[in-house]
Amino acid sequence: MSKIRCQCGHENPFGTVLCERCGRPQTEEAKKSKLIDMRYEGSARRSQTYKKSIIDKVWNFFSSVKIGVSIIIAVLTTSAIGTLFPQKLFVPVVREVDIAAYYEKYYGTAGVLYYKLGFYDMYNSWWFITLIGMLGISIIVASIDRVVPLYKSLKKQRTKRHVSFLRRQRIYGFGSVEDADGSMAKAEEKLKALRYNIKAEDGALLAEKGRFSRWGPYVNHTGLIIFLLGVLLRGLPGFYVDETLWLREGETRSLPGAPGYYLKNNEFIIDTYSKGEDEVFGEAIDRVGTIVKNYQSDVTLYKEAEGGLPGQSEQLEFVKDYSIIVNKPLNFDGYNVFQMDYRLDELKSMTFSLTEKASDTSLGEFTVDLINPESIYRLGEDTYVELKDFYPDYDGTEDGKPKSKSPVPNNPAFIFKMVTPDKPAGEMSFVAIRSTLETEPNDYKAKFVSAETRDTTGLVIRKDKTLYILLVGGIIFMIGVAQGSYWNHRRIWIQEGEGNELFLAGHTNKNWFGLKEDLDKVKDFANLPLYEDRQDTESSMDEVKGDNS
Amino acid sequence: MELASLSANLLLVSFVAYLIATMFFGGAVKGSNSEATYKNNRWGNIAIVITIIGFITHLGYFVLRWIASGHVPVSNMFEFTTAFGMMVVGAFILLFFIYRTPSLGLFALPLAIIIIGYASMFPRELAPLIPALQSYWLTVHVITAAIGEAILAISAVAGLVFLLKNVDLTKLSKQRFWLESVMFTLILVVGFILSASTFAAMGYEAKFTYITQSEQQAQIVYNYPPLFGMNEYESLTPDKMTPFAEMPAIVNGKTLTTLVWSVATGTVLYLLLRLVLRRPVATLFQPFAKKANSQVMDEIGYRSVLIGFPVFTLGALIFAMIWAQEAWSRFWGWDPKEVWALITWLFYAAYLHLRLSRGWEGKKSAWLAVIGFIIIMFNLIAVNLIIAGLHSYA
């Protein structure tokens, strides 16, 4: 690819539209057009220059803004569809078959379609991740394609430009003034007062302001890429822990995902707003009913003793007491423990009395711990109750045998073998809440006396090493987007022509009204020729063609 | 309670102030002949002063309510929407002082009025904060997000003025159809306000029990004559109207009833207007847009996106993620409200890229701004009331 030699003698890279040095148009198209396209300063962009090989084609595909915007629209549209029905993780069933059935049951044909097309778990679907990946590549390629030539040409730009460059600017003025040199000097003074950077040479003046805003888009794209990388890292082991723990009052358990740490639930508390204390909210409390004020788990954190055997929960060192409430997680060693859920009044233990049916006399009471039941409860020398079988969450029978739905004691049932001095062989009895079954009529029964309940707190344990990467990405994005949005890159060229003639041209990347305000001030002060905004205001605004890339 | 009622009165004052200011902006637009008188019109000056007075009383409402309830008043539909209306006025004032164009006020203030009217249809009493909202991030996140959305809304107002001026309403065209649809939608909101306040004034209430999706019994109170019943409903107020049809558990019969009443009222209102006017309703507003300079409107549309987009990003995405990380243990959970904030953000990102690189200016960009506002409103209204999620507090 040969270099392009401009009339001014400067050698431009192949593909250049406007000469890097004097600004003369280099392509036939640019020579013919009334207004030149100042985007990327008419520099040679790779995507506009090389179009042959596969690499060129892939590069050009991803560098295209049209493709970028299409990807954005695709992400946006599919995301919107994904909110029509709840996502998989909000559906109260787990098995894939049940999930399919759930969508069919509640959302009919639309639900079936939603499930089949993968929208029920779309944010983890391969095609959504592919779209995000393409977006990332597009951001990188499109930015590199533009920022490098843009940087080079802005750095190289000369103060004096060829008249054909000035004449093709949107803001352009030409005319004779009384004293060209005096006007130039006054313009320089005023532009300095307006905080422009001035460069002057040989009857030409370039006033420039806010160039750094041109880098805004590239800075914010960098932030986005860092953010996306952070998200990607979460897939690697060790970067990300997400576990749940149900902890009953009084229980101490090891924290899943945080080896060596143990947590004890001392108490779980729910407070509600009361009309007495929170008088101003009386009306709302009347209308809605109960409004929760606080969920709180009072916990104690322990650590395994140094040198102790792993998994040995006897040797625990106290770390700290803490009250976990919503919005105030427990923090330690990079981990966070959040208050997420709760269950109230779970059965803790049940107390029975071994009773002789005929006389209704008790031979003694025994208490079954529903989490760690014992196998034998001794009541006297020849009197004991043996727990033959235990069903914490009794759910009817299957093939003649009782079964348990879960290990949580929601509906406990027991098979007791009651051994008494009268019946040394023992009597068998199946005891569930509100029912007792006996294979043969017994003389004794286990009579329910009382039950103890407790609350269970639902905690989530998280560790996320990527958070800082995400935060850095977010901050860089914000800096870039502010830089690009709140500042403008304005340039004003003033050049002397023959005699007392002056050329005046202006360009800004946005906010033309601001540029014109500045120009008006300079024009009035320095007696410059009149200029015009050549983007015909009312008629040609609708279809201004951009570079269709 | 004293503070609360004073705060409510201040809100009423600002509502009236916005109404009066709109009329003065109308006078400013009507009475000006040249660009110069248009910019520095006496009517226009009075109008902006009244607007600012309204904004200050609105701010007074906000601050007093904050003191009365002890937390920032943005925690339910009424509070958030009222605050959003205030920020729309604030954003308008900001852009008015940059561009000095009365036409913008003539359309921005009625929008704020409709927003406040809509807000007042929701329960207005002071409500305590549920645990998830008890954080200073409520203040930071919600206020920043609302300011961002308000500035973006001004872009839609400028777009609307641009379109009213530049779309030929004398001939049938796609653009005329869509512009008229926008007008129709605005009238539907008025229909909702009218019907809701009528039945509220009558004190209409019909109580039902019904079976929820999780197969539990619950109670519900309708403030409209019930057209659609909840799943397996049973009336507790037999003297009131019986619903025409029963809905399955996934459809909220009450919401549907409200929707149908509002649409019906709005449609009747629209048809009456058409009958009186005998031409599209948009033509009624067109004369008020005629004096606006298209290029100024286009510039305002673009500028307000440029100003609003970073603020929106900060409030609705970054602060939101930080808070979500703290309250829900994950910065992003694909909750519908979050997803729609992302959709809004992506949409304006697309707007900026189209405008920067593909030269979408004028009508195209104005339409995009209007669509952007529709997305914002969808996130506020539909996502809160119809698509349930963690954010549905109202």
Q: What is the pLDDT of residues A466-503, one digit of tens each?
A: 888 999 999 999 999 999 999 999 999 999 888 888 99
CB contact under 8 A, A281 and B69: yes
Cβ of A453: how many Cβ atoms within 10 Å? 12
Average pLDDT, chain B: 88
Chain A interface, best mutation among B357, B360, B376, by max A CB count within 10 A: B357
Residue B266, pLDDT score: 93
Nearest to B127 among A39, A80, A281 (CB): A281
Nearest to B130 among A283, A291, A325 (CB): A291
Residue A1, pLDDT score: 58
Does pTM top 0.95 for this prediction? Answer: no
Nearest to A281 among B128, B296, B354 (CB): B128
The alpha carbon of residue B282 is apart from the nearest alpha carbon of chain A, in Å, by 21
Nearest to B357 among A65, A291, A541 (CB): A65
CB contact under 8 A, A327 and B132: yes
At residue A292, the 3 state secondary structure works out as: strand
CB contact under 8 A, B1 and A280: yes
The alpha carbon of residue A441 is apart from the nearest alpha carbon of chain B, in Å, by 40
HSE-up (13 A, CA, CB side) for residue A534: 17
Strands A501-508 and A490-496: antiparallel
Residue A308, pLDDT score: 62
Complex confidence, ipTM: 0.88
HSE-up (13 A, CA, CB side) for residue A529: 21
Nearest Cα residue to B297 out of B163, B147, B169: B163
Residue A37, pLDDT score: 78
pLDDT for residue B382 is more than 80:
no
Residue A314, pLDDT score: 66
CB contact under 8 A, B340 and A80: yes
Provide the β-strand partners of residue A336: A331, A462
Measure Cα distances from A355 to A358, A419, A426 in Å: 9, 12, 14
Residue A542, pLDDT score: 35
CB contact under 8 A, A460 and B1: no
Nearest to A79 among B69, B339, B354 (CB): B339
Residues from chain A that touch B296, judged by Cβ atoms under 8 A, are 513
Structure tokens, A452 = 């103890």
Cα three-residue angle A333-B132-B391, rounded to 5 degrees: 120
**Residue ranges in chain A whose pLDDT is less than 70:** 1, 307-314, 536-549
Residues from chain B that touch A276, judged by Cβ atoms under 8 A, are none
Residues from chain B that touch A75, judged by Cβ atoms under 8 A, are 346
The alpha carbon of residue B127 is apart from the nearest alpha carbon of chain A, in Å, by 5
CB contact under 8 A, B318 and A295: no
Residue B393 banded pLDDT, cuts 50, 70, 90? very low
Alpha-carbon distance B17 to B5, whole Å? 18
The alpha carbon of residue A284 is apart from the nearest alpha carbon of chain B, in Å, by 5
Alpha-carbon distance A290 to A36, whole Å? 68
Residue B38 banded pLDDT, cuts 50, 70, 90? low
Question: A103 to chain B: nearest residue by CA?
Answer: B250
Provide the β-strand partners of residue A450: A351
Residue A317, pLDDT score: 87
Residue B66 banded pLDDT, cuts 50, 70, 90? very high
Residue A548, pLDDT score: 35
pLDDT for residue B1 is more than 60:
no
Question: B68 to chain A: nearest residue by CA?
Answer: A280
HSE-up (13 A, CA, CB side) for residue A281: 21
The alpha carbon of residue A389 is apart from the nearest alpha carbon of chain B, in Å, by 33
pLDDT for residue B134 is more than 50:
yes
pLDDT for residue B75 is more than 80:
yes
In this structure, which amino acid lies at residue B92?
F
Measure Cα distances from A341 to A244, A272, A275, A301 in Å: 10, 16, 25, 19
Residue A198, pLDDT score: 92
Q: How much of chain B, in percent, has pLDDT values that exceed 70?
A: 94
Residue A540, pLDDT score: 35
Question: B321 to chain A: nearest residue by CA?
Answer: A471
